Every structure is written in structure tokens, then in C-alpha cells.
Chain A
């Protein structure tokens, strides 16, 4: 009947701008990527690279002064026809069905994502009652089951607790339970562990990975932590100043990065196995989005910058350098030769 698409979501030529006093800020500029079915896709980048704005666009959560200027976000639900989320009406039933139902989201700060004046039971049941045709008692039972699934002990009694009675890790589990309770096909996780301690972070990551396998859903993980990406993701897109600069599977990105930004980012991580020496760093800092450099946006910070090649014209397109490996750089092959040359010198 319906042909099963291998991607759950295709984002095509997405452009999002914010209109401020300083002019139009292009937060997301021509972003293309797909989220495969049953996989964890990570979008990484530093602050201001547009990773969160991309995620918010999928649920149409961009508010004034922001506006989605162009592009398509094609959602292929498992049980329905594909549809373009950006074409749906702002207040249409279809959009409400998707939001929190087929696609749900967990936010960075578990304290602000939960209402302080409602019990967690009420907050989880609210999502169930909106999206599913069940009675209140059934909803409460589903909520308790979900809480138990995310590892909250004594889940039934916990339903009557308020968020302030729980620790940060527990609250994040509640937020995950809330997002998962309608069995979404896509879960968008915006920095889900950034506000948590490392031991709690490890628990939450494991939980998300297990749930993803159990329920066979897809996850779009937004993060700045390359360690988290390496441990959890299947596919990775690296963003810089509103564009994707490199995209591949996690192993390729971490072991064989080709874009100078990705290379620099990985090198500047202080690692546990490294000796105490000068840390390689990327020079300069991320420019303001009001003032994006011409040509390749990364050229003022790039160690392989060539005048007249990198700093003129349009930004480089995302081109395939290998099977399932795209890089947006004018000098991909030259840079690889240069790096290989340096390696040879060292040997």
C-alpha cells in the first residue's frame, strides 16, 4: 500500500530568519538533512549556530520576531501519507496532532519545562488526554507505567508530587516520560543533559538509548557536547553559523572528519588520554550572525584559508566526498593532501 520511506523526516532548504533592530538575522540558512527511521540523529555546534532553531522549526515553535522563510519539512508518519509540516495552518488540527503526539520534544532545563503549580501526574495526563481517546483513570495508569519505564521508583505515588520535590535528574526523567507517553515517532531532544551532572547524564543517555531501541522511534538530538554525540548518535550533522558544514555517520565524523571546523572542534577537546600540553584551539571566536563573513563563513578562523578561494562569492555547498559523507568546504581535497603531507613530515 504505502511505500515505506527510509527517512522519517526530510528537511529541505530550511531558512529561518529573525527580524531585529539590527536587521535580518539568518539563524538557519539553507539547511538540508534527513532523520532516518529508528536512528538517533545528532546536530552539534556551538552556541548561535542555529541548531535549536532548526529543531524548533520542526514543531513550528518559531515565534515573532522569527519567521520560517523558506523550505520544506516533510514528515513521513509510519501509518499515514507524507506531509509538509511547514504547509500546515498555524492553528490546524493536523499540527496539534503532530505536536506532542507524533513528534514530541524534551527541553534543556527540566525545571522550567515543568509547571511548578501542577502535579507531575496532571502534567503527564494532560498530554495523554489531548492525544488519546482514554478515560482519566486509564490516562493515570498510562502515566504511572511510563514513569516506571523511565526509572522512577514508586511511580504511582510520585504522580501526586510537584516538580520541586524532585531532583534535577528525576525531573528530566519526568520530562522524558511526558514526551514519550504518546509514543511519538520522533523525539526531539534539545540539550537534554546539559543541565545535569555527569553521573546523572550517563544514566539519562542510557535511558534514552534504551527507550529508542524498545519503541523503535527516531531521535533528533541537539547538543554541543561531542562526547555525548559519540556515545549516543548514529548520524551527525555539524552546524556553524546557520549552515551544516559536515554530515556523516558518527564514526566517520569522529575518526575521519574532513571540514576544518570539525577537525578543530575535535582537537580542542581536552581528552582524558592526552598529556598536559598546549591545547590546540580554533583561533578567534564565533562571529555574530548579523555579520556573517563572505564566502565560507568559517574562513576567518580556518587554518587552511586561501585568499580569493575561501573569502569570495557564495558559501560552499554541501558536497558528497564519500558514501554518506557530505562536506561544505571549497578546499576539501587540497586540505586532505595538506594534512597527509604534514603527517608524512612527522614520520
Chain B
């Protein structure tokens, strides 16, 4: 799969340029004056090539979900461009009309976190999976039914269960329904928003395997939003680490895990409890996750960072391009590496 990526880097499937989503904050009282903004995602830049999986990781409030939704224009971004390569035509998703957007929807789909609340309990599995095709008037009658059965088999659901309701399925099976619903449109891009977080360990592994099998079979491109770094390591080609609405580090997966440059990435990696009791947690991060509504003037991570100097408190670090496909937003990333 990695070989393919190198060949087609010339035309990325998706280019995200300076994407921002700010939410206004209003004052209390009758007039509701706007008193500020929450920069939920701020100046996000990355490219995505066909067949690649990009991980977006971060803690709650880091803006990973907002970024994912803004890319699909499920919420309208405040600024920036999202350029999609749709059949060799470059389209900026942030500027097109809703009518045009609807035509593009089948091309990009989303899988949601909670398989319990993302499926309508009053619809049968067959109706849930078929609904996108019905909405887009792409199939009906026996063609539609055949397509549903075909896709149910693909994701490992038994076609004879098609007239059951979601409550009759376990968490893992429900997530398969969610995947089937996204897949039936033959999308090129799927945003998986914490797609395996709500599942039990033994089932989580099955769903991860299913997602990677489907990727190879259909050449899918994933944006994989997660907070669990070990899952990300398993499925992603590249990882973007987010903190307080910004990407702080972007690199190939093995580089992120073997040689993290940003102090936050390091802290995040050291905080994962290892299943090996002989490898104790060695966590050197204190304090709370930054509040995106009330950020410090400089680097958002500075108050928790052990390498913080005066520059960090005053100046917001830019995402610097260091080497091939390696970006980091830290004033001291090179110095940090030298220190013991």
C-alpha cells in the first residue's frame, strides 16, 4: 500500500489549507453581545493522498472532531480551503453551493463514534443501510435490495438479519452497520470519528481489521479520528497530533512513535498505560488540557511543558516543515531533542 502512495503523490485526494472553525461566545443577558471566539480548530494544513490513512489524535477539546466535520462541511468552516480531487477536478468544498455539495456527498462519508445513538432505532437494518442510496436516488427495487445484501456480506453481517432493528445487535455489529451505511455509496474518503472507541477490546480488533481490509479492497482513504494512540499506530500511515485546536506535530506513524519531537506528543505517548507490568508509566506531564476558549498568548502547551522558555510564553509557534513529511510546531523542538 505504501508503494501506491508514493506513485500518486502528485495529485492529493484532499488538500486542507488554513482550515479554521471558530465558535462565537456570547455574553449573558438580553443582548447576547459576542464577547469572543473559541478557536476549535485553527489553521489546519495537510494533504491526503488516495489510499492513505491519516490519524487525527488529541485529547478532548483538541478540535479533532471539529476538524473532521469541517472538512466534510458538516459544519461550515470559518476560513480556509478544503480542495477535493473529484474525478480529476479540483473542487473547493468550502465555496460550493449546497446543491453541488449534495452531489459530492456520496464521495465522502462518515462513520460515527457511538453505534448506539447513531442508528435510528425505528428503522430496520436494511432501511438504515439503504437510506443513502434512496436519498440520492441511486437505486431502487431489487437493485437496491441486492446492493444492501452485498454490502452486508462485505462487512460481515448476515443478510438474513436485514429486517431486524438495531437493538437486536451487539455494539460491534452495530458499528458494522454504520460502516455498511458509509460504504454503500462507494465513497473515496471516509472520516472515522472515534469509530472503535466505544467497542470492547475483543470486538475492537475485529472492526480495526475490517476497516483495513475494506481499505485495501476499495482503495479507500481514511481520516481516522481517535484518542487512543495504540489504535492509531495500528491503522494509520501518518499521524497529526492536535492540541487546543492546532496541529502540533505531523509525521509518518513510525516516526511519531519512535522519535516524537513535540513535548506534547512525548507526554501523550508516555501516558498510555502499557499492558506490561514491568514497563511502568513514566509520565512527566502535569496540569489540565488547555481550554480552547481561554488560551495563553504563546504556545498553548507552554503551561504544561517542562521545556518552556520565555519565547514559548509570548509567541505562538508555527508548524515548521523539518524534513520529508515531518512537521512540528515547537520553538524548541531541536533543543529538546538534545536535552537528556
List A residues at the B interface (Cβ < 8 Å).
Answer: 46-47, 167-170, 197-203, 205-206, 224-232, 250-251, 254-255, 264-266, 268-272, 274, 276, 278-283, 285-286, 301
Which of A224, A231, A279 makes the CB contact (< 8 A) with B208? A279
Complex interface: chain A residues within 8 A of B60 (CB): 168, 197
Closest to A278 in B: B209
Q: List residues 171-213 of chain B with CB under 8 A from any CB of chain A.
A: 171-173, 200-206, 208-209, 212
Task: Check B36 for interface membership: any CB of A closer than 8 A.
Answer: no
Report yes or no: A224 in contact with B201, Cβ–Cβ below 8 A: yes
Task: Check B34 for interface membership: any CB of A closer than 8 A.
Answer: no
- One of B78-86, B95-103, B124-132, B263-271 at the interface: B263-271
Report yes or no: A285 in contact with B172, Cβ–Cβ below 8 A: yes
Most buried by B among A224, A270, A271: A270
Report yes or no: A272 in contact with B233, Cβ–Cβ below 8 A: yes
Give the A-B pair count, Cβ closer than 8 A: 137
Task: Check B3 for interface membership: any CB of A closer than 8 A.
Answer: no
Report yes or no: B172 in contact with A268, Cβ–Cβ below 8 A: no
A218 to B200, CA, bound (A): 27
A286 to B205, CA, bound (A): 14
Closest to B168 in A: A288
Q: Is the interface of A mostly helix, strand, loop or mixed?
A: helix
Which of B201, B235, B269, B274 makes the CB contact (< 8 A) with A268? B201
Report yes or no: A264 in contact with B202, Cβ–Cβ below 8 A: yes
Least CB distance, B269 to chain A, in whole angstroms = 7
- One of B145-153, B282-290, B307-315 at the interface: B282-290
Complex interface: chain A residues within 8 A of B172 (CB): 285
Task: Check B141 for interface membership: any CB of A closer than 8 A.
Answer: no
Report yes or no: B201 in contact with A199, Cβ–Cβ below 8 A: no
Report yes or no: B202 in contact with A270, Cβ–Cβ below 8 A: no
Task: Check B136 for interface membership: any CB of A closer than 8 A.
Answer: no
Contacts A254-B276, A274-B234, A279-B234 known; 14 new A-B pairs at CB < 8 A: A170-B288, A199-B268, A201-B271, A203-B285, A231-B273, A231-B274, A251-B277, A265-B202, A268-B204, A272-B257, A274-B233, A279-B209, A285-B172, A285-B203
Report yes or no: A205 in contact with B273, Cβ–Cβ below 8 A: yes
Closest to B291 in A: A167
Report yes or no: B275 in contact with A269, Cβ–Cβ below 8 A: yes
Complex interface: chain B residues within 8 A of A168 (CB): 60
Complex interface: chain B residues within 8 A of A278 (CB): 209, 212
Task: Check B59 for interface membership: any CB of A closer than 8 A.
Answer: yes
Complex interface: chain B residues within 8 A of A224 (CB): 200-201
Known: A270-B230, A270-B234, A281-B209. A265 touches B271 (CB 8 A): no
Report yes or no: B274 in contact with A230, Cβ–Cβ below 8 A: yes
Q: Classify chain B's interface size.
A: 35 or more
A254 to B212, CA, bound (A): 27
Task: Check B272 for interface membership: any CB of A closer than 8 A.
Answer: yes
Complex interface: chain B residues within 8 A of A202 (CB): 270-271, 273, 281, 283, 285
Some 21 contacts from A to B, beta carbons below 8 A apart, are: A47-B200, A167-B291, A198-B268, A199-B267, A203-B283, A203-B286, A226-B201, A230-B274, A230-B275, A231-B273, A232-B273, A254-B277, A255-B276, A255-B277, A266-B275, A268-B202, A269-B275, A270-B234, A276-B234, A281-B202, A286-B170
Report yes or no: A201 in contact with B201, Cβ–Cβ below 8 A: no
Report yes or no: A268 in contact with B281, Cβ–Cβ below 8 A: no
A228 to B280, CA, bound (A): 11
Report yes or no: B201 in contact with A231, Cβ–Cβ below 8 A: no
Report yes or no: A198 in contact with B271, Cβ–Cβ below 8 A: yes
Report yes or no: B281 in contact with A231, Cβ–Cβ below 8 A: yes
Complex interface: chain B residues within 8 A of A283 (CB): 206
A46 to B172, CA, bound (A): 12
Least CB distance, A277 to chain B, in whole angstroms = 9
Task: Check B231 for interface membership: any CB of A closer than 8 A.
Answer: yes
Most buried by B among A232, A280, A285, A301: A285
